[in-house]
Amino acid sequence: MRNAGGVRVTIREVADRAGVSAATVSRVLNKPEMVDPDTKERVRSAMESLNFHPNAIARGLSSTHTHTIGLLVPAIQDFFFDELYFGIDKETRANGMKVLFFDAQHSRHRALEGFSFLRQHQVDGIIFTSQLVDEDYDAVIERLGIPVVLTLTESSGKFPIPSYKTDEVKAMFDSVSYLVSRGHRRIGFITGHMQEDSTGVLRTEGFKQGLAHYGIPYREAFTQRGDYRFDSGYAAMQRLLERQADNRLTAICCISDEMAIGAMHCLHDHGLRVPDDMSVMGFDDVRVARMVMPKLTTISQPFTEIGQHAVRAVLQMSQEPSLPYPTGVHYLPHHLVERASVRTVTVDAAD
Amino acid sequence: MRNAGGVRVTIREVADRAGVSAATVSRVLNKPEMVDPDTKERVRSAMESLNFHPNAIARGLSSTHTHTIGLLVPAIQDFFFDELYFGIDKETRANGMKVLFFDAQHSRHRALEGFSFLRQHQVDGIIFTSQLVDEDYDAVIERLGIPVVLTLTESSGKFPIPSYKTDEVKAMFDSVSYLVSRGHRRIGFITGHMQEDSTGVLRTEGFKQGLAHYGIPYREAFTQRGDYRFDSGYAAMQRLLERQADNRLTAICCISDEMAIGAMHCLHDHGLRVPDDMSVMGFDDVRVARMVMPKLTTISQPFTEIGQHAVRAVLQMSQEPSLPYPTGVHYLPHHLVERASVRTVTVDAAD
DNA sequence: TTGTATGCGTTATCAA
DNA sequence: TTGATAACGCATACAA
């Protein structure tokens, strides 16, 4: 660090000023109980007057644990991020740890860069979130040499990376069940592009299983794809509406709240009311889901809890390496939040 | 770093494997042109087979600049954050820098902690955002010894910290002007608690100036306070509605989009339509402003540009310390985004 | 072109 | 309880 004049102040200068050795200064920093109260006081006031802050970089060099965990996310703009972060922050804080954050901006290249960045900053472990984690990451993660935990996603590779998330297949199945229980059988589907997108694949699988369970055939004509964001939801709905004369949809099932909201806007712009003329179902239960009108009926993911679990797993892996790793996928319970965007419909006899 | 077995792989082991010295390995990393092609090749394949990645921490210890800038924000949950971050990320990236992020969760104590954390990680400078930056921060920032730049806020202290933001007084004045031009004179006001909240103070000042300019008296009875978030906007509107028989408001002016949206929901729950029965005006133009119905008319802040300017300022201050600091407040232009939540009203003769 | 020696700021080990 | 001294992983003068 530097004082106001720009001169670096190190532990050694504090030591000189306090008339002790560098080791002692280090001790008042890390193991204050081991040092004499008087000297401790002298050292502290020396630090104060010299305006000294320990260099975390050098610190990480000497000691193994930095008490910092890395967080690598696809994009901070994703609406779910604030809740996930809330859980992570809460839990790290409760354990006296810090979070080092890196945003990959939906780029695989930047995700790799992120691993390297976090690694180089000597984090004790990494929490990773991405739409896709395939076998290409296996080698990267394996050779990283520090614990990695997945949230909201799972790996399709062979390396058994611990993962905390909801059972998306089941969640989407439940979503369909709900719509069917409300009388819907002609259900439009707005999903992901399915490329580099395991989330989309799983949710689509759940959607299909749901339909199959109720004896409703899955139709490509009822499906449109987007990128999880508002505009793409709007556009997908637009395309669905162009075929509406044939399709005669009564409900739209979306794999993200943001696309659901986009769809609602598109419907509105075409003079269709939600849920009177068309029901809309979301997925995620992000904070905005209850800010739109009608409030969005959706599947709630326990983002905060997922974040907390992930932190605990990383801590356990890094602090108790003797314990077996919590490998594999850990499902946390989702639940359906019934609000106002889906209505009950009388079954169309023609179907 | 460690390989799969958990053993650290350093530059030295690469050197051994390649049959050269550590210095040579360091050279192929930093000045490859100085190394014989053959040795270079041997070293590279040694790095490859040992799965070696340089430790940037140790690297940063030797050199001064970490090419990382610190970002200290009040709370990641704030909806404006994603756009601000977008600008910051874009600009840092363009300059080959990284961002180290810290979330203060609206706590002054944690903000102080954040300064220390970022400082200890040797960032080249810090971008700071907070609802309040008073003279108490002067000392902290001054002795930090690295450049600090403010965004979306300004300091009330004496230390001339550079600041990038919009002119909130003027922006709120414009908001009132717009409402008045639409025929509104009985305007409700949902603002902040004004304690530890310079943003609220400035926007309230702008609101009052606006009213005064049009000869409309400011009335406490038309004002309610909240914490910028959805629920508090709802509650504030609720209280306003309780006096509506006396107040006969035709429009509500809010100092944040989120509170405006909360107010809209409250109105809806009371059977009042926006904008037919009541106009609502927001502030910020966060991404959700266009996701609600009706879409929110609001004041747009150029978050992305503000982020970019802040980064440039930090870089200039840290890389060209000889140049004068860009001290003082730099206003970036706001503009009013006319959407659908405000309607024109015929002036009430009784007013 | 390459190797040796030293420093960066801190922690850890071992004596005292 | 404290102090020397040796790491930690890398970069860089300086020497060869």
pLDDT tens for each residue of A195-236: 888 899 999 999 999 999 999 999 999 999 999 999 999 999
- Scan residues 107-136 of B and list those with Cβ closer than 8 Å to A: 116-117, 119-122
Q: B51 and chain A: CB distance < 8 Å anywhere?
A: yes
Pick the CATH number of B11-62 from 3.30.420.40, 1.10.600.10, 1.10.260.40, 3.40.50.720: 1.10.260.40
**Residues of B whose CB is below 8 A from A99:** 103
pLDDT tens digits, one per residue of A277-290: 999 999 999 999 99
pLDDT of A2 reads 36
3-class state of residue A210 by DSSP: helix
Confidence of residue B349 (pLDDT cuts 50, 70, 90): very low
Q: Where in chain B is the domain with CATH 3.40.50.2300?
A: 68-166+302-319, 168-300+336-350
Spell out where chain B has E strands: 68-73, 98-103, 125-128, 148-151, 163-165, 187-191, 223-225, 251-254, 279-281, 298-300, 329-331, 335-337
pLDDT of B56 reads 64
* Range A10-38 burial, b when 16+ CB lie within 10 A, else e: bbebbbebbebeeebbbbbbeeeeebeee
B115 against A189, higher pLDDT: A189
B224 against A119, higher pLDDT: B224
Q: A57 and chain B: CB distance < 8 Å anywhere?
A: yes
pLDDT of B139 reads 85
Mean pLDDT lowest among B33-47, B172-186, B208-222, B275-289: B33-47
Nearest-10 crossing angle of helices B37-50, B11-18: 120
Task: Calculate how close chain A gets to B4, using CA atoms only, in Å.
Answer: 5
Mean pLDDT lowest among A17-26, A65-74, A263-272, A293-302: A65-74
Confidence of residue B63 (pLDDT cuts 50, 70, 90): low
Mean pLDDT of A289-312: 96
Q: Where in chain A is the domain with CATH 1.10.260.40?
A: 11-62
Give the integer Cα–Cα distance in Å for A329 and B57: 33
CA B229 to chain CA centroid, Å, is 16
Pick the CATH number of B68-166+302-319 from 3.40.50.2300, 3.40.50.1100, 3.30.750.24, 3.20.20.70: 3.40.50.2300
Percent of chain A with pLDDT over 70: 96
- Whether B149 shows a pLDDT value over 80: the answer reads yes
Task: Answer yes or no: do A6 and B145 touch at CB < 8 A.
Answer: yes
Confidence of residue A168 (pLDDT cuts 50, 70, 90): very high
Mean pLDDT of A181-198: 93
Residues 35-54, chain A, CB closer than 7 Å to nucleic strand D: 35-36, 38-40
The dihedral built from the CA positions of residue B122, B123, B124 and B126, taken in this order, carries a sign that is negative
Mean pLDDT of A144-173: 91
* Helix (H) / strand (E) containing B158: none
Give the integer Cα–Cα distance in Å for B227 and B258: 10
| Protein residue ranges contacting nucleic strand C, Cβ under 7 Å | A 1, 8, 10-12, 22-23, 25-26, 29-30, 52, 54-55, 58-59, 61-64; B 19-24, 27, 34-36, 38-40, 58, 61-62
Task: Answer yes or no: do B120 and A56 touch at CB < 8 A.
Answer: yes
pTM: 0.88
Question: Taking Cα atoms as reference points, which of B117, B144, B113 lies closest to residue A51?
Answer: B144
Give the integer Cα–Cα distance in Å for B53 and B9: 8
- Whether A121 shows a pLDDT value over 80: the answer reads no
Percent of chain A with pLDDT over 90: 62
pLDDT of B269 reads 96
Question: Taking Cα atoms as reference points, which of A179, A178, A180, A204 lies closest to residue A190?
Answer: A204
Q: Round the average pLDDT of chain A to a whole number and report it.
A: 90
Confidence of residue A6 (pLDDT cuts 50, 70, 90): very low
Mean pLDDT of A308-332: 89
Pick the CATH number of B168-300+336-350 from 3.40.50.1470, 3.40.50.300, 3.40.50.2300, 3.30.70.520: 3.40.50.2300
- Whether A4 shows a pLDDT value over 50: the answer reads no
CA closest to C2 C1', residue: B24
pLDDT of B9 reads 79
Question: Taking Cα atoms as reference points, which of B201, B282, B294, B181 lies closest to residue B237?
Answer: B282
Please enumerate in sequence order all residues whose Cβ is within 8 A of that of B32, keeping only pairs 6 or more positions apart, or say none: B40
Residue to mutate among B7, B53, B295, with most A CBs inside 10 A, is B53
Q: Which of the nucleotides in strand D have any atom less than 7 Å away from a protein CB atom? A: 1-5, 7-13
pLDDT of B53 reads 72
- Give the nearest partner residue to B57 out of A61, A144, A258, using CB atoms: A61
